[in-house]
Chain A
Amino acid sequence: MLRIRQLSRSFREGSRVHHVLDRLDAEVRSGERLAIVGRSGSGKSTLLNLISGIDRADAGAVEIDGVEVTALGEPGRTLFRRAHVGFVYQFFNLIPTLDVAENVRLVLELNGVRGAAARERSLAALAGVGLAGRAHSAVDQLSGGEQQRVAIARALVHEPQLLLADEPTGNLDEESAREMLPALLSLTRARGATLVMVTHDEALAATADRVLELREGRLQERRPVPGQPP
């Protein structure tokens, strides 16, 4: 269960202060797939950063499965994140100096899983996204869709309770997005992980159990737009 209470975050630009998140509240059930939509600059990525403990809130709390992430110190947040949270980014953010399998294995090694066990699990994760045959390819030899599938394998290989996806289809063409989506959704579901994704992609949002819109610093239930799918 992900619980967010009265979460606030503002940024200062010169003398002006932008209140990006303003006493935001939300609850996401375990295993739920939540899509967050909103205009550019509305604070969607900031919200993901606060949930994962990458960024610190000005006020409020984020609680994941009973652990108040916002109350943890820096090392605590990092250790919690690497054990319990997976990330998928718009620009994949694979490490260019590592091959495909090493990119996946990296997270396991950070979590203390090494050697043969790490290798086996990373290959299994790659097989799960259909890339077992590309385990030793350089990442820049893969297509965008393939790179995003590697990122999904990396995000899920350590079986986190929470998967955060920031515009996962934002850098993909339609066909690549179609290839990537089943992997993201089925694997998340199969592992019983909670999925919180930020997206502009209506097709992706439509696959979520619930869609929330971030507007004026708060999350609101999405109002159906006439002529658009709910």
Chain B
Amino acid sequence: MTVLRAASLRHLLRHPAQLTLALVGLALGVGTMVAVDIATASARRAFELSVAAVNGAATHEIVAGAGGIDERLYVRLRTALRGPAGPLAHFAPVAAGYVSAGGRIFELVGIDPFASVELNAGADRPAASGLQGLEQTRGWFTRPGAVVMNAAAARALGVGEGASFELEVGGVARRATLIARLAEAGAGLDTVILTDIAQAQEWLQSTGRLSRIDVRLPPAEAGAALAAELAALLPPALTLRSTRAGARETLAMTDAFTTNLKAMSLLALLVGTLLIYGAVSFAVLQRRTIIGVLRALGATRREVLAMVLGEAAVLGLAGAVCGLLLGVVIGRGLVGLVSRTINDLYFVVAVNEVSVPATALLEAFGAGLATALLAALLPALEVAASAPTLGLARSVLEGRALQIARRLALLGLALATGAGLTVALSRRSLLAGFVALFLLLIAVAAVTPALLRALAQGCARLTAGVSPVARLACADVGASLSRTGVAIAALGMALAAMIGVGVMVESFRESLREWLEQTMRADVYVTAPGPSEGLERRLEPQVLQAILSLPGIRAHSEGRRVTVTSPSGPVDLNAVRLAQPSYAGFRFTAGDPARAWGEFAHGAVLISEPLAWRLSLAPGSTLTLITADGARGFPVAGVYREYGNDRGEVLIDLAEYRRWWRDESIAGLGLFLAPAVTAEQVSGAVRAAVGGRQTLLVRSNAAIRALSMRIFERTFVITRVLYWLAAGVAAVGLLSALLAWELERARELALLRTLGLTPAATAALVLAQTLFMGLVAFLAAIPAGLLTALILTEVINRRAFGWRIELHVAPAQLTNALWLALAAALAAGIYPAWRSARAALASGLREE
């Protein structure tokens, strides 16, 4: 190692606290990024494994909407597509739905094992059933309720081979027998129960109907030609799509969610960048004289630049490596939160294995290193370019810092304007929304040092007549921008993000609460259990009749939720027959309600805001859906507010739905009670009337609202975790910078003590200064945080999900940020305060 490098490295090692805090800042930034990647990749991988395990070697799938596929089609296709040498394509019928067992949701997949074996023959993937031996095969066909499960899932349910257990299909209890466990099935089947197709049809009450037909086509051009031929053979209500496209469509539902998580992790890294900038700037400032000596001795600018960047690279390397390790640990914790949110909002997935994608690690490592180098570039260039005069006067340095702060303030205004323009000029781009958000946050960081200076000077003037010590304290803060400016800026930025996210979450919560209050008009809701759009979720006709004949019910709404296909992908359909009071529960954001309801009754549809945004639809547009008779355009009569489904939904009259999809089922009821009848009375009566025929969810209006709010809170747990991580990075940065600054002032403080300041007053002085800086960061963050909230609600949420959220601002939302600012400032001040109060004056005065 050259002497120059040794000098540089030893400087870092001689300031372990400074070094450690900078490393912690960067490591947290990189770690958050890795953690989010691990959590989302694990959920994605689990889903892909599940798709791969269930689809086997299928290349395509024939899918239908709510009505399913007539199983005779399967027979026709098998015979139609045959060449002289045998079948041109392989088909396997599937009847699938959701069931619950032991409190967990599983996908029940009914297959024809022979067709499945044929479809997978010659492929490198085994047939999904995994039956081995004659005994198991016999059991598959002869034992009632025979099912096969992954060994891990069976273990989790506590079911042994040959044992019977209870499954609930749409609330109806069914007896299943585990005839085989798939020991080598891997994690892909963790949420899957396999059974014979006839058994599945019986349980799902879809005899003669299939959910899909898996297809294996030959590769390349022959496959493409065959796919076209096959598509032409299909009835209009059916669609042929590649299995990859199907999986992509499902995964795409989580895109906006994962993009938001990614943005939050980048925020943590951005804060980390400022901290590295602060640490390197500070290290350069501390060594200004030494670097001057080196330049005088003949070190070239390039050598000085290389030395400073080398230090940053060492910091970056160490921080990135620590960040990767930390990220893997945090990632394991986040997996649960992310998969729970995906289960709550999108699809059923069990993440039992943590995927650590190498690309994510490399990306994060590169980002950490690049961040450190980029952050160090400015101070490195500055010190390398400056004349090698020895020890620039402190006043010169601070003069420069002030000039930079003023320029940064102007830059901040330009960036904020840029953020506004980015929003104004881009109409739908989510990326542009995030760019605007980050521009705004960087603008806060840019403006904070100048604000700190202005406020400190103002305070110094105000206190001048009161106490020279107070004046000194304020003036000192204002005159130390080179030391503290960056850390306060980083804290300001993190606090702005914290306020912004806090206000956004609170606004969302309030909007959701208001929406629930407005929408949930019925007193009691009765639904079949299961995922909301599951076809198997239906009320048994006798059960329905028993409920509706109960006394005390003055009116009821009924509905059916299904997912149907459309040229733009799957669309959730909410078919309803509304009781009179329910109409008032819809708040229109486009279209005239009176006219819209009139058109609705005559075959038009209403769509929710997210769907209107996603498919760019408005009243007067036509929405094409694939019905049982093929594609049909439905006029859109209005757009209504809806927060229950971020993919959006179509509201259609139940009679119209039945007409076009030929599905007579009802999945849920909303009961309006007669005066003086309570929800508890009716709930009890419903349970009694249903008896053991079907397990139903009978919940009061208040219970559903409470449940919705609980799911909402769960959804935002991960957001909170991430913004606390970003805030933690900033707090560490502040601690680092203030600690270094205060320790650097040991001599000045010792001098004050010599002049008569008591130890307690000295400690108070130090604490007052650090608290003042924390407060300035908080003050800078308030307007920026509110603007951030505005961008998050009006731009990001709108563009990601199509929701319009009304801003709700209350002082309580700012308290988290205030406490963080004060706690970080106090923590940063305690040690230097204690040290300055106890320092031996003689040695303190000798220190340089």
Contacts and interface: CB of A to CB of B under 8 A. Distances in A.
Contacts of B467: none
A83 B298 contact: yes
B298 A107 contact: yes
A82 B298 contact: yes
B225 interface: no
Interface in B1-37: 2-4, 6-8, 10-11, 14
Contacts of B295: 54, 78
Contacts of A82: 297-299
Contact of B296 (A54, A56, A96): A54
Contacts of A154: 297
Interface stretch (A109-117, A141-149, A181-189): A109-117
Given A55-B387, A106-B7, A96 B290 contact: yes
A35 B289 CA distance: 25
B298 A54 contact: no
B390 A110 contact: no
B298 A114 contact: no
Contact of A98 (B6, B296, B387, B389): B6
Contacts of A75: 300-302
B839 to A, nearest CB: 19
B49 interface: no
Given A74-B301, A81-B298, A109-B2, A93 B289 contact: yes
A48 to B, nearest CB: 10
B14 A110 contact: no
B311 to A, nearest CB: 12
Contacts of B300: 75, 78-79
Contact of B3 (A81, A83, A89, A102): A102
Contacts of A42: none
Nearest to A98: B7
Interface string B283-299: 00000011011111111
A73 B301 CA distance: 12
Contacts of A107: 297-298
B389 A49 contact: yes
A95 B390 contact: no
A106 B387 contact: no
Contacts of A56: 387
A78 B299 contact: yes
Interface string A47-90: 00100101110000000000000000011001101110001010
A117 B848 CA distance: 35
B296 A52 contact: yes
A154 B293 CA distance: 12
A156 to B, nearest CB: 12
Contacts of A105: 3
Interface string A129-158: 000000000000000000000000010000
A97 interface: yes
A111 B387 CA distance: 20
Contact of B293 (A83, A93, A114): A93
B147 to A, nearest CB: 70
B290 to A, nearest CB: 6
Nearest to B303: A110
Contacts of B3: 98, 102, 105-106, 109
Interface string B436-455: 00000000000000000000
A89 B390 contact: yes
Contacts of A83: 298
A41 to B, nearest CB: 14
Interface in B299-332: 299-303
Contacts of A54: 295-296, 387-389
Contacts of A49: 389
Interface residues of A, number: 28
B314 to A, nearest CB: 14
Contacts of A97: 6-8, 10-11, 14
Contacts of B290: 93, 95-96
Contacts of A74: 301
Nearest to B13: A97
A95 B301 contact: no
A105 B289 CA distance: 19
Contacts of A110: 4, 297-299, 303
A189 to B, nearest CB: 22
B103 to A, nearest CB: 62
Contacts of B2: 109, 114
A110 B306 CA distance: 13
A49 B387 CA distance: 10
B390 A93 contact: yes
A72 B274 CA distance: 38
Interface string B639-677: 000000000000000000000000000000000000000
A55 B387 CA distance: 7
Interface string A20-32: 0000000000000
A111 B390 CA distance: 21
Contacts of B10: 97-98
A79 B298 contact: yes
Nearest to B5: A109
A93 B388 CA distance: 13
Interface in B363-380: none
Nearest to B387: A55
A30 B787 CA distance: 70
Contacts of B302: 75
Interface string A114-129: 1000000000000000
Given A49-B389, A93-B289, A109 B296 contact: no
A78 B301 contact: yes
Contact of A95 (B7, B298, B388, B389): B7
A124 B18 CA distance: 37
A37 B387 CA distance: 25
A96 B301 CA distance: 21
Contacts of A109: 2-4
B296 A106 contact: no
Contacts of B297: 81-82, 87, 106-107, 110, 154
Contacts of A111: 298
A75 B4 CA distance: 18
A97 B302 CA distance: 21
B724 to A, nearest CB: 37
Nearest to A52: B296
A78 B292 CA distance: 12
A83 B298 CA distance: 8
A82 B302 CA distance: 14
Nearest to B388: A54
Contacts of B294: 95, 106
A151 to B, nearest CB: 10
Contacts of B301: 74-75, 78
Nearest to B10: A97
Interface string B41-79: 000000000000000000000000000000000000000
Interface in B337-355: none
Interface string B382-417: 000001111000000000000000000000000000
28 contacts: A54-B296, A54-B388, A55-B389, A56-B387, A74-B301, A75-B300, A75-B302, A79-B298, A82-B297, A82-B298, A87-B297, A89-B293, A89-B390, A93-B292, A93-B296, A95-B7, A97-B6, A98-B10, A102-B3, A105-B3, A106-B7, A106-B297, A109-B3, A109-B4, A110-B297, A110-B299, A110-B303, A111-B298
Interface of B: 2-4, 6-8, 10-11, 14, 289-290, 292-303, 387-390
The 10 closest A-B pairs by CB, nearest first: A82-B298, A97-B10, A93-B293, A106-B3, A78-B300, A110-B298, A97-B7, A102-B3, A54-B388, A97-B11
Given A97-B8, A98-B3, 11 more contacts: A54-B295, A78-B295, A78-B300, A81-B297, A82-B299, A89-B293, A95-B293, A102-B7, A106-B4, A109-B4, A110-B4
